[in-house]
A and B are shown apart, each in its own frame.
Chain A
Amino acid sequence: MNIKFYNPLKQVALFGLGLFVLASCKNNIPDDIDSLGQDIVYSNNEITPILGRNTFYNNLVSIGQNTSQPLTFKMVNIRDIDGQPATIFNDKLPVTVWKESYNGLEKSIAEINAKRKTEYRPILEVLEHSGNINFWGESANAGFIKAQPDSGYVFDIEVSNTGGRRYIRNFKLKPFRERPYEPSIIDPITGLSMLPYTWPQNMRNMLGNRTKKPMFNSDVNVYFNKLESKGAGSSTLTISFLDSLNNPIDPAKFNATNWEKLVHGFKHRFENKKVVYDVAYPIPLAPIETDYAPNGREAYMQFKYRRIGNFGQLEDCYFGFYFAIYEAGDWEIQFRFPNESPLFD
């Protein structure tokens, strides 16, 4: 081959290649990386959970049009109010988590427990991609967590994606003392209660035994008593009724009560004029509508009997009580009639 042919040809090719390389520059085009705008906003910077129960803060974060998802959230720099690192939040405590979904149709304690397991988790968590905050307070108490009126703790949240990272600073964690049940009569800050009892929320058609006058829900006092444990793992709920002399009223008198579906408990039995259930705590188990918890947040018990009314018609007479119990153990709910007992017949 003739070399002379090649050299100029090569130059032409090189020239063309050079132009091509010049044209392939992409310098002016920004990198395709995530955008992290100023528009990540937490709707609540001060979280005030109650110790002794798990609290999950959902929909806390609103993310605007200038920020790319998914984001990664991380809790950093947790400290107490004067800036000292709070190491307690590095510890992991046992908490109960769900493996399968609770639906209110479980047939035994074992079936419920098969759907749950115990895990060890730090008390305060930020969910990695949603930014929601979990307070795993189930095993926490005011003994080692500073509860109000203490100013509590301060922490920051680091938000990042491939576009960079930002810090949202000075979140406050100000937990309240334990309140093992609701409706609570305990002052959230002092942990003391002014009254030892509370009241049911509704009542209908009930008359007093003595006066034959209509009763109101303030005529029933509700006491939550935690009984001494009947042994390890014993988990029961006892329901009893007392008259004005603190003598027991036979629950059987509330003859129209649906004892089977009163609470999501099992093996209900009448012992010493009390009703006892084997139950799983907390009550209710999950924030879902079930036969036992019509609104999902609180369990509902209704005690009902029927009698012939003043005008000869059969009347449903009942009172109902919305409640929640967060602490496991053997609990008794006492309904006391301090003024007079209901008229059953």
Chain B
Amino acid sequence: MLGNTLLAQTKMVKGTVKGTDNKPISGVSIRLESPKRDLGKSGSDGRFVISVPVDGVMIFTYQGYGTVKTKVTAAKSEYNIEMDSKNQEIDEVVVVGYQQRKRETLTGSVVTISGKEIQDIPAGNFVDLLQGKVAGMNIQNNTGSPGMRGTIAVRGISNFNVSGSGDNAFLTPTSPLFVIDGVPIDDNSGYEYGFESAGPGVSPISMIPPEDVEDITVLKDAQATALYGSRGAYGVILVRTKRGNSKVPIVQYQGQFFLSSVPKLRKVIGGRDERMLRVDQILRNDTTLARAFQRINDSPMLADSLNPYYNNSTDWQSYFYRNTYNQTHNVNISGGERVFNYKVNMNYYDENGIIANTGFKRYTVQSNMQYEPNDRFRMMANVNANVAENQMGSGNAMMQTGVGKSVNTTSLYPAPSLFSGSMGALSALSVDDQNKTGNYVAQVELQYEPIRGLRASSTFNYNYTTSTKDRYTPELLLGNSSEVYGYYDNKSKVYNRNLLSWVKAIKEKHVINIYGFTEMEISQSSADLNIIRGTANDQFQTGISYDTRRTLGGLLNNLSNYRSVAYAGNASYNYDSKYIVDLTYRLDGTSVTGGKSPWSSNPSLGFRWNFKKEKFMDKFDWWDTGFFRGSVGRTISPTGTLSDLYGWYKIDDGRYNNRPTTSLDLKNAPNTELVPQTTTQWSIGTELGFFNSALYVVYETYYKQSDKILRGKPIANHNAFGNVLTNESAMVNMGHELTINFRPRLQNREWELSGTATFAMNKDYMASLPDGARQLLQADDSGYNLPTYYRLGRNSQTFVLYDYKGVYKSDDEVPVNPLTGLRYRAGGESAEGKFFRAGDPIFTDLNGDYILDENDLVYVGNSQPKMTGGLSLFVRHKGWSLRTQFSYTLDRDILNTALADRFRNYSTPTGIYANPNDQPGAYVPLDAYNVWRELGDNADYPNVSDFTRLSLYNPYRYNSTMFLEDGSYIKFNSATLGYNFDRKWIQRFGISSARLNFTANNIYTFSHYSGPDPEIVTGVGRDGSNGYPSKRTYSLGINVQF
């Protein structure tokens, strides 16, 4: 195959390739410059022995290191090569727009993170580990649920719509598109929160073991994402898994043992103290003493204190939260060189959640092989099979409502057991919930270069995901009627891309690169759900039941069938790597685009000026890189479904011939004019490198406009339909990003130091609302009364709250209506208890009518952070290394509804509720809060104890600025202490390299926030009581390579 005529004078040369740290580098590719020919690779000890023509030039290349060229002379036969590792590689090659490009010629915004940076931290989902690493990619790990990921937003949120209500209000996710080894995977649908979907909610992204990640590339601006067109509108994350790259097969084992520990839990008043506090509260605050005695005597919980059922001091939290020991193992077998290489990666990950009865297990096999007999033909194949298993107890992937409620139970009640009646708690602990997700991927890519410069490639991918959920709730826990819950879904996707590219260099200086491709996707998904109520007994966990009224089954209405076809092209002109212009055009057709034509066209333009390459810059020898780049372009993201376009038939309650009838679903009127959401982005950046890349600064600023956002609007009721979906909304994100890399060259080679600091500022604005409205207040019909507020020109996520100004010290301070002589009061029907008095909260009466009602709400705050970023530091001394990661989120507001819940527990000291499902809540000590207790107190929080009036004037309403807090935080994400064993010593045991590491993750969060964790909040900035807390993990890892 290497059919080139060898020159007569060849000679054998040998040598070693070492890094600047004097460590041998294995797998360095050695090529001959002219004629182009593969010479081989360095061995595991960095040594090489190759045959080279005399006067030929050897080119040594290795990922992450600078290229070294050495001329072979007749006189010398031993060459010791030293390769410089580089921080920001200018010569490096990245795949952007499905095409390899030199970094030097990129016009878009591209950031690459090496997989090494994340491999020492055990994680169910590697995305969580990227927090703070990329400027402009805001990751909030807002759930600790094993295997689930938090929210990601590249350059701000791209959709402002909020679904759900109250504590469960969630922002429509706009996660970036993931492209795994060249194949796009949309992580937004079905997996976004897990709570919306009926199934396990495990995303294919959770199936990728961090150990198998070679590198992760984040594309932020329009030019970089342009060719990903459909669904590239929210940014693109490219993930490359490892490849074989060694003549001698490498077997690598990585194992980690980790302890997940429960974060600080809240203090609770227990036992007798709680009872006496409740009694005291009644005695002090009831209308009369006689009434107070009666109330106490009527409440068995307080009066019957010797009854074993009430004579307890149960620490409910201890039943649900636990520390767990977990493990993950990964074996990677790889080998081969350029002509043929292969990799097989096997991963096992087992994590038990810190909430009882939750956990995540992953078994994966990822393999790929590549065959490249010569420069002109290449074939790559991937086969992955992944299985995940998770338990969610009585909650879902995001929320643990059952646990949240049970933990908030009075300590006077007995511990959970079948005989004590605490069924909510018991079901959280003992419901048999099994979820399985399988993901199977097969992919083949062929490349062929028939004529020099003209290259054709074709990629075919099939991705199949199936998941099941089986949950059995015994009859004792569910009102004497057991429940079998069976869920099954499947998604499949066929993806094909055919690409033709042409490169032509004219006179060495002008390089023209033109390529075009077609892309096609067919995907479908459907889900079935069966609920059987009332099986014969708890041993029969399937099958037969006679409770047909409550037994349900059938296809869920989230089934989808989606097609898309795209034609895209790119033309790029490069003059001497100095001036580069990129033009791309992409024509996208999707099956969910309405209107006359399914096509939308998405052009983009990028330029780059490497001014450092200009002659006048030659004099600054300390300045090595300098360029400006800018881009403008449009990308789309299909939103909506086929049923939004054409309507939906449903089975209704009507009967015809004693059969169910079918009718149009009248919720949303069909709108055949729906189009995809588009993102138009302007971006300008500059990158400057100094002192041989010891200091490298990247600055970017952008303007991102998200138009045609899908949103429903109510229509007049004579239309039969309730709502219509339209593309009338828009929002804008603007911001600045700054990345500073530093990697000083230290004289002492035993030391190495490097770090990256990222800063990103983002501001979002509402730009358009349906019907040309300037403002929209979307009501919240839950008891939380937290509407969503949109106003043009303002940030998209604003709180609508009563303005809290402190506490009335005395009755005289309450303003009096001069018209009526009445004091300021709470809204609704007038009642004696509604007039404010000493100890009550001062809420601003905005409209001056001396009645506190919805006309007094103010629009305040922003739940989206204004500034995010992080700092990573790496220090190495000989074999020891320390890697730390910090991240921060500044200037964002959180509504601490969890704190409101604590105060609200004081509303019913008797523990007797009208609704039998309500249980008396836990009493939380209020010492930490300056709560009003007696006349004249200058307090921060109003009286909690006046229980006979609390429901009338509602001082602890969720929607008040009393609970609006600064949610800024700085988080010490992780620290890894690693030790590399000396190679020579370790080789005696037949091991080529070994490494030990100790890692702590989620170490500490610095914050003024009064809640437990400013990160465990929903996308709209509400800290509910039911979130899944973040674990802190300590892990011991071992990495052995044979």
Contacts and interface: CB of A to CB of B under 8 A. Distances in A.
Interface of A: 4-5, 8-9, 12, 15-16, 19-20, 22-26, 28-37, 54, 56, 58, 63, 65-71, 97-102, 115-116, 119, 127-132, 134, 163, 285-289, 296
Contact of B791 (A9, A32, A128): A32
Q: Which of B765, B776, B820, B859 has the most CB of A within 10 A?
A: B820
A24 B773 contact: no
B847 A69 contact: yes
A98 B732 contact: no
Contacts of A19: 628, 630, 684
B818 A29 contact: no
A75 to B, nearest CB: 16
> Which DSSP category, helix, strand, loop or mixed, fits chain A's interface?
loop
B708 interface: no
B774 interface: yes
A35 B816 contact: no
B344 interface: no
Given A8-B616, A66-B774, A296 B830 contact: yes
Given A12-B611, A24-B701, A28-B705, A70 B818 contact: no
A36 B626 CA distance: 50
A35 B848 contact: no
B63 interface: no
Contact of B822 (A12, A129, A288): A288
Interface string B360-384: 0000000000000000000000000
Contacts of B628: 15-16, 19
Contact of B849 (A25, A97, A130, A287): A130
A6 B116 CA distance: 42
A20 B855 contact: no
A37 B774 contact: yes
7 contacts: A19-B684, A20-B684, A22-B684, A54-B819, A70-B847, A127-B847, A129-B846
A101 B823 contact: yes
Contact of B847 (A29, A32, A116, A129): A129
B821 A69 contact: no
Given A16-B686, A130-B855, A98 B817 contact: yes
For the side of the interface on B, what is the size category?
A: 35 or more
Contacts of B609: 15
A128 B793 CA distance: 26
A30 B848 contact: no
A30 B791 CA distance: 10
A169 B775 CA distance: 24
Interface string B763-798: 001110000011111110000000000011110000
Interface in B611-640: 611, 614, 616-617, 619, 626, 628, 630
A288 B686 CA distance: 70
Contacts of B812: 100
B467 to A, nearest CB: 39
Given A129-B846, A129-B848, A98 B614 contact: no
Contact of B775 (A8, A31, A37, A100): A37
Given A33-B793, A289-B832, A28 B732 contact: yes
B932 interface: no
A60 to B, nearest CB: 10
A273 B614 CA distance: 116
Interface in B819-863: 819-823, 830, 832, 835, 846-849, 851, 855-857, 859
A33 B774 CA distance: 9
Contact of A68 (B626, B683, B791, B835): B791
B793 A31 contact: yes
Give the top 4 A-B pairs by smallest Cβ distance, nearest first. A35-B775, A35-B774, A32-B793, A98-B821
Contact of A287 (B773, B822, B835, B848): B822
Contacts of A25: 703
A19 to B, nearest CB: 5
Contacts of B816: 98-101
Nearest to A136: B819
B346 interface: no
Contacts of A26: 734
Interface in B30-78: none
Given A15-B628, A30-B793, A37-B773, 12 more contacts: A5-B619, A29-B767, A29-B793, A35-B792, A69-B847, A69-B857, A100-B816, A129-B848, A285-B821, A286-B820, A287-B822, A288-B820
A29 B732 contact: yes
Given A35-B775, A163-B774, A30 B821 contact: no
A134 to B, nearest CB: 6
B822 A35 contact: no
B630 to A, nearest CB: 6
B903 interface: no
Contacts of A24: 701
A42 to B, nearest CB: 14
A8 B617 CA distance: 8
A118 B627 CA distance: 76
B855 A69 contact: yes
Contacts of B616: 4-5, 8-9
A18 to B, nearest CB: 10
Contact of A35 (B702, B734, B773): B773
B847 A68 contact: no
Q: Which of B609, B732, B791, B847 has the most CB of A within 10 A?
A: B847
Contacts of B732: 28-29
Contacts of B814: 101
A298 to B, nearest CB: 15
A100 B818 CA distance: 8
Contacts of A68: 774-775, 791, 859
A241 B20 CA distance: 116
Given A58-B851, A163-B774, A101 B857 contact: no
A16 to B, nearest CB: 6
Contacts of A163: 774
